[in-house]
Structure 1
Amino acid sequence: MPDIHETVLEIDLGALEHNYRFLRSRIKPSTKFMAVVKASGYGSDALAIANKLVSLGIDALAVAYASEGIALREGGIRCPILVLHPQVGNFDEIIAYEMEPSLYSARILKGFHQAARKAAQEGYPVHLKFNTGLNRLGFWETDVRFIKEEIDASGALKIKGILSHLGASEDLDEKEFTQRQIALFSKIVEEVERSLGPIPLKHLLNTSGILNYPEAQWDMVRSGIGVYGYGNDPRFDPELRPVVSLKTVISQLHRIEPGETVGYNRAYRADGHRTTATLPLGHADGIGRQYGQGKASVLVQGNQAPIIGNVCMDMLMIDVTGIDCKEGDEVILFGEGQSADQFASYAGTISYELLTGIATRVKRIYKDPNPL
C-alpha cells in the first residue's frame, strides 16, 4: 500500500472476506446469506463490496432504493438484488433491471402488481415484509387474506420470500422482546404458507440476530454492519475486522503561544505553549462540528491527539503537543487502533451514521490480499 498523501478512505477487501466467512460460520451451510450494500456499501463502495462478495459466493444482495440496485446492475452484478424500500415511481425500473421488491403495504403491493401486469410479467419474484414490532414498515398479520386475494388476481407475481426485521437483537436486555418478534414471525410464516403455499425464503435475522439468535435463521439471513466489521457487541469485536479506515495527513504544524486562539470564533484558546496540526478534512467530508472542541481524538504516531476548536468545512485542527510528528505524517481518524464505533461514540452517535456520512469527495483506495 502506498504512503498516504491526502485524505482517503481505505477499503480492505481482505477484511470483508474475513467477516463474511466468520458470519457464514455462525449459520448452517444450507442457509443462504444476503449482504446489505445500501448507502454505498455503508459509506464505502457498493460495487467494489458487491464484486468481492459475489466472488466469495454470496447468495443475494440488498439495497434500500432502486437507484442503488441499478448502479450494481450497470456495474455487472447479476445475483439477486432485494430492494428493501421500493417507491412507486421506481416500479418499472425494478422490473426492467430484474430486481426483487420488498412489498410492505397494500398500496405498494397493488402498485407493483399493476406494474408487473403492465409489463406482461408472469411469476415475477417478490418478497413480503411483515411488521413484528419494529413498527417501521410491514404488513400486519391480519393482512394475509388481502394479500392472497391480490396475488391470486393474476399470475403476474410469485412470492419468493417473506421477511421481517428485528428491532433490538443486539440488546440482550431486550431478549424477551426479540423472542416475541421471532414467535410472531413464525406464526405469520405458518399462516402465509397455509394460504399461499410454500415460500422458498424466510428471512428475519440481521447481523446481531445471526450472532445472538442463530436458532431463528430460517432459509436466509441478512447482514449489513457485520460484513463491514462491526457486531454491535464487544464480545464479537475480536472476531471481526473493520473494512474501512479513514486516514489523512498533517498539512501544517503551528507553534501556539499561551493565550492564542485557533480556528473560527476563536473557539480554542491555548493554556500554554502548544503545537497544533491542521488536517485536510472537515464537515464537508463527514466529520461534523460535533467532533470538535476536544470531544474526539485522532491517532498520530499511535498517540491520541484531540480535535481542538471548531471543525471547519475542509479542515480541522488537532493538538499534537508532545507527539513526535512532522508535516506530511499520516493521521488515522478510525481504522487500525481506533474503531468507527469508538470515534462515533465521542459525538454520541453510532458507527452506522459515521460510516455512511463520509463524503464521496474522499478518495477511495483498496487493498485485497486475495484479488479477484
Structure 2
Amino acid sequence: MILPQKAFSDTILYLDMDSLLKNLEVFQRLVAKNVKIMAMIKANAYGTGAVIIAKALEKKNIDYFGVAYADEGNELRINGIKTPIMVMNPGEKNIDLMISQNLEPEIFSEDSLHRYMEFIQQKNISDGKIHIKVDTGMNRLGFKIKDLPMVIESLKNNPSVKVLSIMSHFASADISKEDAFTRKQNTDFNFFCEKIESELGYKCTRHISNTSATERHTAFNADMVRIGIGLYGHTPINNTELSLSPVAHLHSKVSHIHLIREGEGVSYGRDYIAKEDRKIATIPIGYADGFPRILSNGVGKMFINGKLYPVVGKVCMDMTMLDITDSAIKVGDPVEIFGSNIKIIDFAKNCKTTCYEVLTRLSSRIDRIPIYNQE
C-alpha cells in the first residue's frame, strides 16, 4: 500500500477503500439478486469513519444503512448521505430529529411504539415509517411472540404508520453447536412476520441475518441482510474462503530514540529494567488511542523496517516504548501497529479481545485517511 504523507497526526488509520468495495461485492455475490444489503455503520462504521465509509458505499448504490443511535444518523444526513437509514435505538427524545432528518426508527417495545404513534398523531404526519424488532432469543431488544396481539392492534388502529420492515437478530449464527437454536429463531421470526403481514394486508421487508448468518445460513437471508464486520474485512468464523480484505491499517511514526544503560527502567512503575544497554524508540500511540495496556512488557509488538520490535515497560496514555536495539531505525521511520504484516486478528488475540473491539475503541484523535486505487 502506498501511503500519502499529508495528515494531521503521526498516528493514522489508513482505509483501503478498494478492499471495502471488494468486500461489498463478495457479499453481493453471496446473496440472491433480489436480496438487499444493509451496511451497518454504527459506532463510527466500526471505528473506521462513518461518513467516509457511507459516501463510498452510497456511490455503489447500497440499499440501506444501519446505525445505533439518532445522532449517528444525523451526522450522515448533515454530510449529505441520502440513502435510507435505520436507527436501532432511537431514544425517546429524538423522534422530532428522526422525522426531520428522514431517519427510520427501529421500534422494539410497547412504550416506543405508542410514543412514536402519539408523536405522529400530534404532528398530523400521514406517512410514518418504522421497523419492527422481534426478540427471538437475543434478549436485548424486541417484541416477544406474546406481544403480537398488542402490536397488531396498535398498527391497525394507526394506519398512518407504515411498517417498512420486520427484523430480528441471531444470537449465535457463527457457532455450529448452536445451529438448532438459530433455526428456531428463524422459525419464530417468520411466524411473527406472517402474522403481522396477514393482519396488515401488505408485505414487509424481512431481515434477520448478520455477517455470520449470511455466510453460514444462506437459506435465512430473507429479503435483506445486515453486513457489519464483513464489510471491513473480517468474519466471526474467520472464513478464508470468502477472500475478504482488511480495510483498516493502523500506522504511526517513530517520535524519539534514546539509549538507556544497564539497570535503568522504562515507563511507569519501572516494570522493565534493562539487563544491559538498550536502544529505545517512543511511538505516539497509547491506551487513550486504543493501544491497550495489556500489550505492555513484551506482549505487544510493532513492525518497523521489516522487523517486529517488542513493547517495553507499561503502555502510557499517549505513548508506547519499543526495544529497537541493534537496529538502524531513525526518528520519523514508519511504524505498523496492525495491517499487512501484523494481522488485526493477531493483534486482537494479543489484546484478548475481538476485531470488533479493536476497531471501535480507536480514538477520534487518530486520523482516518481513505486510500483508493492501489492496484
**Does the Cα contact within 8 Å between 2:207 and 2:221 map onto a contact in 1?**
yes
1:186 to 174, 177, 190: 190
C-alpha separation between the residues in 1 aligned to 2:324 and 2:185?
A: 50
Tell me the secondary structure at the aligned position of residue 234 of structure 1.
Answer: coil
Please list every run of 5 or more consecutive structure 1 residues that lacks an aligned counterpart in the other structure: none
Question: Kindly, what percent of the aligned residue pairs are identical?
Answer: 35
Residue of structure 2 equivalent to 1:255: 259
Amino acid at match of 1:12: D
Amino acid at match of 1:91: I
What is the deviation of 1:324?
4.1
C-alpha separation between the residues in 2 aligned to 1:238 and 1:132?
A: 28
For residues 323 and 183 of structure 1, do their structure 2 counterparts lie closer, same or farther at Cα, with a shift above 3 Å needed? Answer: farther
| Correspondence 1:293 to 2:297 | yes
C-alpha separation between the residues in 2 aligned to 1:152 and 1:234?
A: 44
2:359 to 344, 355, 359: 355
C-alpha separation between the residues in 1 aligned to 2:241 and 2:319?
A: 31
**Does the Cα contact within 8 Å between 1:246 and 1:333 map onto a contact in 2?**
yes
Residue of structure 2 equivalent to 1:19: 23
What is the deviation of 1:55?
0.6
Residue of structure 2 equivalent to 1:176: 180
What is the deviation of 1:335?
1.4
C-alpha separation between the residues in 1 aligned to 2:52 and 2:4?
A: 19
What is the deviation of 1:319?
1.9
Tell me the secondary structure at the aligned position of residue 311 of structure 2.
Answer: strand
What is the deviation of 1:3?
4.1
Residue of structure 1 equivalent to 2:115: 111
C-alpha separation between the residues in 2 aligned to 1:9 and 1:179?
A: 39
The ranges of structure 1 where at least 4 consecutive aligned residues each deviate by more than 4 angstroms after the TM superposition are: none
**Does the Cα contact within 8 Å between 1:101 and 1:126 map onto a contact in 2?**
yes
For residues 191 and 359 of structure 1, do their structure 2 counterparts lie closer, same or farther at Cα, with a shift above 3 Å needed? Answer: same
1:206 to 206, 210, 218: 210
Residue of structure 1 equivalent to 2:309: 305
Residue of structure 1 equivalent to 2:245: 241
C-alpha separation between the residues in 2 aligned to 1:20 and 1:79?
A: 16
What is the deviation of 1:283?
1.6
| Correspondence 1:50 to 2:50 | no
1:97 to 96, 101, 112: 101
Tell me the secondary structure at the aligned position of residue 116 of structure 2.
Answer: helix
1:224 to 209, 223, 228: 228
C-alpha separation between the residues in 1 aligned to 2:33 and 2:340?
A: 32
Q: Scaled by the length of structure 2, what TM-score is found? A: 0.94
C-alpha separation between the residues in 2 aligned to 1:171 and 1:321?
A: 44
Amino acid at match of 1:70: N
| Correspondence 1:2 to 2:4 | yes
What is the deviation of 1:137?
0.6
What is the deviation of 1:215?
0.9
What is the deviation of 1:237?
7.2
**Does the Cα contact within 8 Å between 1:303 and 1:323 map onto a contact in 2?**
no
Residue of structure 2 equivalent to 1:63: 67
Aligned ranges 1:156-171 → 2 under 5 Å: 156-171=160-175
C-alpha separation between the residues in 2 aligned to 1:324 and 1:84?
A: 51
Tell me the secondary structure at the aligned position of residue 98 of structure 1.
Answer: coil
C-alpha separation between the residues in 1 aligned to 2:197 and 2:232?
A: 34
What is the deviation of 1:195?
2.3
Amino acid at match of 2:87: V
**Does the Cα contact within 8 Å between 1:307 and 1:317 map onto a contact in 2?**
yes
What is the deviation of 1:194?
2.4
| Correspondence 1:125 to 2:129 | yes
Greater shift, 125-134 or 227-236, is seen at 227-236
**Does the Cα contact within 8 Å between 2:212 and 2:235 map onto a contact in 1?**
yes
What is the deviation of 1:183?
1.9
Residue of structure 1 equivalent to 2:80: 76
Greater shift, 229-238 or 279-288, is seen at 229-238
C-alpha separation between the residues in 1 aligned to 2:158 and 2:339?
A: 52
**Does the Cα contact within 8 Å between 1:162 and 1:199 map onto a contact in 2?**
no
Q: Scaled by the length of structure 1, what TM-score is found? A: 0.95
**Does the Cα contact within 8 Å between 1:9 and 1:364 map onto a contact in 2?**
yes
> Residue deviations 1:206-243, cap 9 Å, x none?
01111111110110000111111111223237611111
Tell me the secondary structure at the aligned position of residue 283 of structure 1.
Answer: coil
Amino acid at match of 1:367: I
What is the deviation of 1:312?
1.0
C-alpha separation between the residues in 1 aligned to 2:165 and 2:355?
A: 29
Residue of structure 2 equivalent to 1:147: 151
Tell me the secondary structure at the aligned position of residue 226 of structure 1.
Answer: helix
Number of equivalent positions: 370
For residues 329 and 124 of structure 1, do their structure 2 counterparts lie closer, same or farther at Cα, with a shift above 3 Å needed? Answer: same
C-alpha separation between the residues in 1 aligned to 2:295 and 2:119?
A: 46
Amino acid at match of 1:161: S
C-alpha separation between the residues in 2 aligned to 1:108 and 1:275?
A: 60
**Does the Cα contact within 8 Å between 2:197 and 2:204 map onto a contact in 1?**
no
For residues 249 and 34 of structure 1, do their structure 2 counterparts lie closer, same or farther at Cα, with a shift above 3 Å needed? Answer: same
**Does the Cα contact within 8 Å between 2:26 and 2:242 map onto a contact in 1?**
no
Greater shift, 324-333 or 217-226, is seen at 324-333
C-alpha separation between the residues in 1 aligned to 2:138 and 2:308?
A: 39
